[in-house]
Amino acid sequence: MRPKNLEKEQAIRTVALDIIAKEGLENLSMQKLAKAANVSPRTIYIKYENKEDFLVKLFINEVLEPYEQAVLKDFSEQMDFADGVKKIWMNTFQYLKNNRPAFAIIQYSKSSLLLNKAYQQQNIQQGQFFAPIHRFIAANIKAGTIKNFHFDVYRAMIFPVLLELVSEYFDYTERPKQIITEKVLLECCATVIKGIMK
């Protein structure tokens, strides 16, 4: 791809993230994106089949890798289980609260199977991303700290509560008082950990 085309491609993605941040994912259309990026809709459709194809590629190129790096910052799979989960929660919360477009795409991926399509398109295997968390869970199962559930069960127990709290955080940014404080987040995290540990 020529440098000018790469610049145009990056501009389209940047504008898309800006629209998602300001107006929500549901208000992103290819026509609106083309107009805001100052390109013709045809330019977008040369590279992407439709909105979903665009979002899959946006998720892979702009969200997945930075999200993984943020979640794993200062995390070690050798951590005590409670400390490890707390570190994952705090990292995830800090990243998502400062990256509303990424949060919107992650939320959308749950209902649209976007994540699965993104993984299939790039031939990403389970465990390729967030591998230290997979090993962390496996080590704690082996040590008998937590019950022997499949990793996907642990993902369902650890992350949905956190993502709902992030959603509430954004809801309360428009209200007089923010209810999702670090103290509340840590108390909720402790409750989840207590429910998981043997």
**Residue 183 sits in the same domain as residue 126:** yes
**Residue 60 sits in the same domain as residue 133:** yes
CATH number of the CATH domain containing 14: 1.10.10.60
Structure confidence at residue 43 as a pLDDT band (50, 70, 90)? confident
Per-residue model confidence as pLDDT tens digits over 138-191 = 999 999 999 999 998 999 999 999 999 999 999 999 999 999 999 999 999 999
**Residue 2 sits in the same domain as residue 77:** no
Instruction: Report the distance separating Cα 121 and Cα 3, nearest Å.
Output: 24
Domain hosting 17: range is 1-47
**Residue 43 sits in the same domain as residue 60:** no
Q: Provide the token pair at 180.
A: 């999702």
The mean of the pLDDT values for the chain is 88
Instruction: Report the distance separating Cα 170 and Cα 112, nearest Å.
Output: 21
**Residue 66 sits in the same domain as residue 156:** yes
pTM attached to this predicted model: 0.83
Q: Which of 29-38, 57-66, 108-117, 143-152 has the lowest mean pLDDT?
A: 108-117
104-108, Cβ contacts within 8 angstroms, sequence gap of 24 or more: 104/20, 104/21, 104/24, 104/25, 105/20, 105/25, 105/55, 105/58, 105/59, 105/63, 106/63, 106/67, 106/163, 107/25, 107/163, 107/167, 108/25, 108/55
**Residue 156 sits in the same domain as residue 59:** yes
**Residue 37 sits in the same domain as residue 95:** no
pLDDT of amino acid 1 = 45
**Residue 152 sits in the same domain as residue 125:** yes
CATH number of the CATH domain containing 75: 1.10.357
**Residue 40 sits in the same domain as residue 59:** no
Read off the pLDDT of each residue in 57-64 and give the average, rounded to a whole number: 82
**Residue 34 sits in the same domain as residue 63:** no
Structure confidence at residue 51 as a pLDDT band (50, 70, 90)? confident
**Residue 63 sits in the same domain as residue 129:** yes
**Sequence-distant (≥ 6) Cβ neighbours of residue 148 within 8 angstroms:** 141
Structure confidence at residue 118 as a pLDDT band (50, 70, 90)? low
Domains held by the chain: number: 2
